[in-house]
Every structure is written in structure tokens, then in C-alpha cells.
Structure 1
Amino acid sequence: MSEEPARASGAWLADAGVPLMHTLAGAIIALAETTGLDAFTLPYPPEAQRALDRTALACLRRGAAPPHSIPELVSWCRSRPIANWPLDLPPDAVGDTDRLLDPRSGLPTELCHEWYLKTRDSATRRYDRDIIHEAFTRCRESGEPDSYTSFRRLLVERPVRTSAEFFTDRTDWQLAPVRDLLGLIYLPVPASHRGADGEGYAVCGRCATLLIPLVGGGWWCERDACRRQGSAPIDRRLPVAETGGLVQLARPLRQFVTWPGRAEIELERILLAAGLSVQMWPGYDAYDLRVTFPDGWVWAIDVKDWAHPGLLGTNATAVRREPPYDEAFWVVPTHRIRDRPDYIDVYNRNRPEHAEDLVLLTDRQVMDTARQRLRAGRCRNREDDPDA
């Protein structure tokens, strides 16, 4: 999961539509957080008016009719793929069906959050990395590597906590070095997450985060991978009276820690079952998985569950060398390739020069390669020892 600051290539920065995409994503997030995208109230956040003005100017330069109001701009974000907007964008900036708002729920997409959080030169863009950095610094200074591992597993496996559960977390001695951080990153859940007619809250059975009730009934998962698999299964229901004040991880941590973390833990499970040695988040999160083969060969794996392969490419940077390894990969969940078959090609085209050797594989390719390497090792052993 380990993230680094965005390093937009010169080609991207030269296109006028790229800064506008940053502005649009920021405006949508600001509207969602301050007024709600289904009930506009004045005054609008300054980011929203700035996005409208800049979008109108971009349209006029292309001889196209612009949106005339912020509600109309929001309607564009929900109904029109960005590829159909009259913007000057580089070829890999958006996919054919990419939108900033989900057509069904009207909420910001993962892509919108990536444009906002991973391409802006702002404190918000660094939020998830600052929290993780603070956690491993505290655990390292305390000499408690197991505390850091417990912290990371908490964020991955338990992003939603009732009042009683959260009290248990904050009194867990293993989490002592990061205890006060928990109060900063687990935030009260808004009432808008409650289902109708006293249904209370619902937790997704795939990604463990809260589902969002839809107008007219049903539930919506904010994670792309869940929605593409069909209706979200409900893992557990949480009646309002029994939660005692429900909290959940802040959105940047859900998107950039919890979701890729679930892919990391699934990789860990499969590689362990194959007989490999796996260390999670070694060296206080130098990378995500350190995999050791029977012959001593070591892989370093960083999992990246990003919607936008171009943004991921511009963020590519070499995997840290400590703890040492023989090969390093970035890994993306296979569902991203199913959604966008040119994903790895787009990533490769947008890598900066200093990261041109950083290979991106799917999680399935990693597992297949590991099994092939194990089989090859067993064949070599039999050749060396005919009686084996």
C-alpha cells in the first residue's frame, strides 16, 4: 500500500485539463462534505464556484455550451463520462466510462477521490501517508514492531467500530504507542448512513466498510470492486440503539489502506498456504509483503488498488531496499484489469524515468509466478537428489 507524493509527468502538466480535473474533484468532495450533493445550500464552497468558472471557460475555448450553474455541473459529473467533456486532457487521463460521481448513488467515485487526494499539492493529499508515517515512527521509537503490525491489521480488518469495540481498541496494550491516533482517524458516522425505517447501519460483507442506503431502498458500497460483483452482501447489521456512537475510518484511509490491505491479506493467506514465508509490512511498512522462498530468494511486494492507472503510473517510485530483497513488484488486484484491459499499458506509459524498471503485476500473476517458482525449485531438488 505504501504511497509516495504524486509525481505528475511533464506531459500531464502541459495539458490545461489536468489542473481543471484537480479543481473539479476538489469541488465535488467539498460539496459532498459540506452541503450534500442532493441538497445544495448557499453559500457554496469556494472550490465549487471556482470549478464552475474554470469549466465554463474551458468549454467556451472549445466552442461548447458550458454548465450554467453548480447543480448543472454536478449533473455533468454524474451523467457524463469525463471523456465526453470538452476538456484538453492527455490520452491516458481518463477511461471511456470514468465519472466523478457514481450514476446510481450520486456519491463521489474512487476515481474522484484519487484525483483529489493523489494529485493535489495540499495537506489533504498527504493525509493517509502522514497518519501511517506517524504510526510507524511512534512504534519504531517504542521498539514495538508488533504494535505497528497490529495497527495496520486494525485499519484493514476493522474499519467500522461500535463504541464498545472502540473502547477495547483504545485500551489494547498492543496499540499503546498509537492510542491517541485512533481518536483522530476513527470519525463519527453521519446519520445519512442509517437505513430507512429503523434498519440501522449495515456493514459490507466484502470490504468491511459501511454501506450507504439508497433512495428507494437497497444499499450501495463505495468500493468499485464490490459494486461490480453485484449487490453488496451484508455482513452484519448495527441497530442505532446498540452502537453507542458508531465510528469509521476517515475516507482516505478506507480507500488507500483498508481496501488494498484486504488484497494484501488475501495474498498473505494464499502464499502461506503454498508453503512460503510471508512477513507483513516489514521494516515498519517499507513495503507490504516480504515473501521468502525455500531457496532464500526474497520478493518485496507493494499492493496498489487504484482506479486510475495513469495516476498510479505518475506516482511510481522504487521500492525501498530495506529490508533487503531480490525482486520487487507493485501489484494491482485483477479486478482492475477486468474493468480496464489497458490498465498495465497505461501505467507503463506514465511511469517517470526513475521508476521505469518498477514492474506492475496482477495479484493472480504473482500467485501463478510463485507457484511456478516453487515447482521449478522442487524439480531442481529432485535432479540434485535422485533418491528424493
Structure 2
Amino acid sequence: MTFDAPDTVPLPADEWAAHDGVPLLRTLAGALIVLDATTGLDSFSLPYPPEAQRALDRTALACLLSGEPPPAGLTELVDRCRTLPLAQWPLGLPPDAIGPEDRLLDEESGRPSELCHEWAWRTPDAAVEFRDRQIVRAALRACREYGDEEAYTAFRGLLVRRPVLTPFEMHELDGDMVLEPVRGLIRQIYRPVPDSYLHDGAYTCCERCLTLLVPSRDGDWWCERDRCRRQGPAPAGRRILRETAGEICQLERPLRQFVTGPGRAEADLERDLLALGLGVRMWPGYDAYDLLVEFPDGHRWAVDVKDWAHPVFLGRSARPVPQDPPYEEAFWSVPEHRTLARPGYVAAFERARPARARDLPLFTDAELVARARARLRRLKGHTDRA
């Protein structure tokens, strides 16, 4: 997921502004994230946090105006966010705004869904810069000032492969000269981990996506990544004892959501393309795009990987892939699990694309690997005939 080109706010003041449900969903999503981070989503006391009270008041008004019973309090509102698909809420929403099973809270864990985070962070006022883009652009500026593209590549790799750090590991990074341009930034974006992640005196990372798992009341684990949960029960990976490691830190959530998550998808796509014998360069040209793929005949693809739950937010952010480093074809790619979870994902993306990106194709990662395999077969056929 590249950040270097100028971005537009995915929800400008257009036809979405005519629908009261859009700001209400944004308010709800923001309130749920604040509650989850401050008081948790299973116990409340008056007075409620201002964001939560605002969400409750606005939801009650929307219900009353539509003749629906309003939530009796914050506990009932949170329960509705977990159990009731958004399609059943009394909301006036534009086409493609929600899918039939979309929820702001995960039905099993009660934690904010990835969709909830996208509603909160991808629909702010146009004057607000998204936190993940702010951080990555700061890293780009610092590395360009040093004239060190390797430092930026190492920084992106750190965010993708090491979202959790112990105090000792953070100390080791302080001595890594490759990361010199971004050392201060790293200290800012890794935050202390709350005790809610602890189980039997230890923190546990997901073996698949490397983020911290949340222990559930029934003794299982919950992973914050949609992709991971759809693959089955979260596999417990690295276990870190607090008694010996101390208080660990993890990347702040916007970066886990919009950098680490897509980065895992980028790494998976890199692995699959390398397995075909193709040349792959990650984040070339200071992150002009995500993967530069080269075929044996010199033909090159530019690929940007986007791991977003909401196809309209993704479509509205679409822009042409930068021309440098040069390539012959360019694509955006989304993990296949996104399109399986939401029928019509690609069509909704295409309807939402701005005119400047009308010709930008979106393929799933599986489709892109299949296209690469087919092109290699054609090349081999031409070679055999020659």
C-alpha cells in the first residue's frame, strides 16, 4: 500500500453528504474505538465519554425519526453494534455503503471490526490527515533527506514483520545504523501494550499475522485481522513472558490496520511471484508502489496491494500508479478473502473510482498470480516455437 502520491479524502463532499447515515456511522465507529481503548466495551458507567454520548444521542434520534425503538442506553447500543448487521439499522445510506452482513463490532469477540476502523479513519473531515499516511510520509521525508532508500525499505519491513517489540528488541533497533533516519519516529509509533492482552502472565502473538492476540473468556484467542480469522482459529505463535521481557510495545492501531495488514498481503504476493521464478522488488522508488515485478523478457508490472474491507473507500482512493520506476502494466491488488467476504466487491470499487483512475484494474492476489503464470506459459510457448 503506497503512500507517496498525493491522496484525496475517500469521502469528499458529494452525494454521500446527502445521507444522514454516513456521518452517523462515522460517529458510531469513532465512539466504539474510543470506548474500546479507554473503558473497554463490556462495562460502562455514567457519565459516558463525550464521543459515546454523542453516538448514543444521534442513534436515538435516527431511530425516533424512523419510528424504531431507540437503544435504552450505551450497553444496548454496543450490543446492537455487535449483533445487528448495519443493513438492518434505520439508516439512510447511499448504494454500496454497506454489505448485508457488515457490523461495527466483531460478533464473537465484541471488539471493533476492521470495517469499524475504516469508517472511523477513512471518513474524517478533509482537513484531517490520516495518521498512517502522516507517519509514513514523515519516514519518506527523513529517508530522502538522508538520501537513503534502503532505510525506508527497512522501515517498511519493520512495520510489516515486527509489529510487536520487547524492550530489548527496541534497544537493538536503537543500534541499527540502517534505521538511523527514522529512529525517533520508531519510538513514537510503538506504544505500550495494555494488560487486556495478558494471559497467564504472557503476551501471545498470532503465528499468521504476527500481531498480538486477545485472550477470550472461553480460553480461545481472537485476532484483530479479518483475513486471519477467516482462515480458522487463531494459531498461538510467539509467547512473551512479561516477568522476563518487561512491558512490551506494539505498533499503534492505524499502522497495524493500514500498513502491517496490507504489508502481510504484499509479502504473501511477493512469495507467490518469486515461486514462479519472477524478479520482485519491494517498495521501489521510495514506495512509488508496492511491488515491481519483472518477467524473463524484461516486461514489468507495477502492483499496489490494498487490504481494505470497504470497496467504496478503496475505490474513492484510487489513483493512477506512478510511472517511475517505469513499467509496462500496472494493477491494484486486493486479497482474495475480501472479495469472498463481500460479493460485488470489485464492481463496487469500479463504480466508486474517480475519473482519473477509470482505467485502473483491480485484481485479487490469486487472479494476479494466475495472470503471471499464464503470461509465463505464453512466453515459454513462444520460446519453444522459436
Given that 2:10 and 2:122 are in contact with CA atoms closer than 8 Å, whether structure 1 keeps it comes out as no
Amino acid at match of 2:273: L
Matched, 1:40 2:62: no
Which amino acid is the alignment partner of residue 245 of structure 1? E
- Within the candidate set 88, 104, 127, 2:92 is matched to 88
Distance apart, 1:199 and its partner CA = 4.4
User: Which is further off, 362-371 or 59-68?
Assistant: 59-68
Shift of 1:153: 0.8
In 2, distance between residues paired with 1:325 and 1:335? 28
- Report the Cα offset of residue 339 of structure 1: 1.2
Distance in structure 2 (CA, Å) of the matches to 1:41 and 1:243 = 35
For the pair 1:8 / 2:17, whether they are aligned, the reply is: no
- Secondary structure at 2:238's aligned position in 1? strand
Deviations 1:76-101 (A, max 9, x none): 11111111001101121111111111
2:379 aligned partner: 377
Is 1:157–2:161 an aligned residue pair? Answer: yes
The alignment of Structure 1 onto Structure 2 pairs a total of residues equal to 382
Within 2, Cα distance between the matches of 1:348 and 1:13? Answer: 20
Where does residue 370 of structure 2 map in the other structure? 368
**1:28-80 deviation line (CA, Å, top 9, x unaligned):** 11111222111223432212111112112211221111113222211111111
Per-residue deviation, 1:149? 0.8
- Whether 2:63 is the aligned partner of 1:59: answer yes
Secondary structure of the 1:236 match is strand
Cα separation, partners in 2 of 1:39 and 1:127, compared to 1, 3 Å? same
Measure, in 2, the Cα distance between the counterparts of 1:252 and 1:86.
Answer: 29
Identity of aligned residues (%): 56
| Partner amino acid, structure 2, of 1:11 | E
Deviation at 1:108, TM superposition (A): 0.5
User: How far off its partner does 1:236 sit?
Assistant: 1.5
| Alignment equivalent of 1:114, drawn from 115, 118, 128 | 118
Structure 2 distance, partners of 1:7, 1:113, is: 14
Opposite residue 320 of structure 1, the aligned amino acid is P
Indicate if the aligned counterparts of 2:155 and 2:179 stay in contact, CA closer than 8 A. Answer: yes
Paired with 1:39 and 1:135, the residues of 2 have a C-alpha distance of: 39
Distance 1:283 1:377, change over 3 A: same
1:235 is paired with a residue whose SS is strand
2:327 and 2:57 map into 1 onto residues whose CA distance is 50
Q: Which residue of 1 aligns with 2:283?
A: 281
Instruction: Give the TM-score of the pair, scaled to structure 1.
Output: 0.95
**2:196 counterpart of 1:192:** yes
The more displaced of 206-215 and 116-125 is 116-125
What is aligned with 2:353?
Answer: 351
Match for residue 69 of structure 1 among 69, 73, 78: 73
CA drift at 1:13: 2.3
Q: Secondary structure at the match of 2:234?
A: coil
Task: String of CA shifts for 1:342-377, please: whole Å, max 9, x gaps.
Answer: 111111121122221111100011111111111112
Out of 179-188 and 233-242, give the one that drifted further. 233-242
Deviations 1:127-153 (A, max 9, x none): 101111111111111111111111111
The answer (yes or no) to whether the contact 1:118–1:125 under 8 Å persists in 2 is no
* C-alpha separation in 2, matches of 1:248 and 1:5: 29
CA positional deviation for 1:6: 2.6
Instruction: Report the secondary structure of 2:340's partner residue.
Output: helix
* 1:284 to partner: Cα distance: 0.7
Say what the alpha-carbon RMSD is for the aligned residues.
1.5
Q: Secondary structure at the match of 2:204?
A: strand
What is the letter of the counterpart of residue 203 of structure 1?
C
Give distance in 1, aligned partners of 2:42 and 2:57. 21
CA contact under 8 A between 2:206 and 2:235: conserved in structure 1?
Answer: yes
List gaps (5 residues or longer) in structure 2: none
Residue 130 of structure 2 aligns to a residue whose secondary structure is: helix
Contact 2:209 2:264 in 1 (8 A): yes
Amino acid aligned to 1:176: E
Alignment deviations for residues 148-199 of structure 1 (CA, whole Å, 9 cap, x no partner) = 111111110111111111111122111111001111111000011001xx24
Residues 1:252 and 2:254 are matched in the alignment = yes
> Which AA in structure 2 matches 1:6?
V
Q: Is 1:133 equivalent to 2:125 in the alignment?
A: no
Report the CA distance between 1:221 and its aligned residue: 0.5
Query: Is the contact made by 1:319 and 1:328 (CA closer than 8 Å) also made in structure 2?
Result: yes
Question: Contact 2:289–2:304 (CA<8 Å) still a contact in 1?
Answer: yes
1:136 and 1:333 map into 2 onto residues whose CA distance is 26
The TM-score normalised by the length of structure 2 is 0.95
Moved over 4 A (4+): 122-125
State which of 232, 235, 238 in structure 2 corresponds to 1:233: 235
Aligned to 2:24: 20
Aligned residue in 2 for 1:292: 294
Q: What secondary structure is seen at the aligned counterpart in 2 of 1:278?
A: strand
Amino acid at match of 1:265: A
Unpaired segments of 5 or more residues in structure 1? Answer: none
Distance 2:130 2:260 in 1: 16
1:305 lines up with 2:345 in the alignment = no
Q: For residues 310-329 of structure 1, what are the structure 2 equivalents within 5 Å? A: 310-329=312-331
**Structure 1 residues 6 and 124, CA gap change in structure 2 (3 angstroms):** closer
Q: 1:235: how far off?
A: 1.1
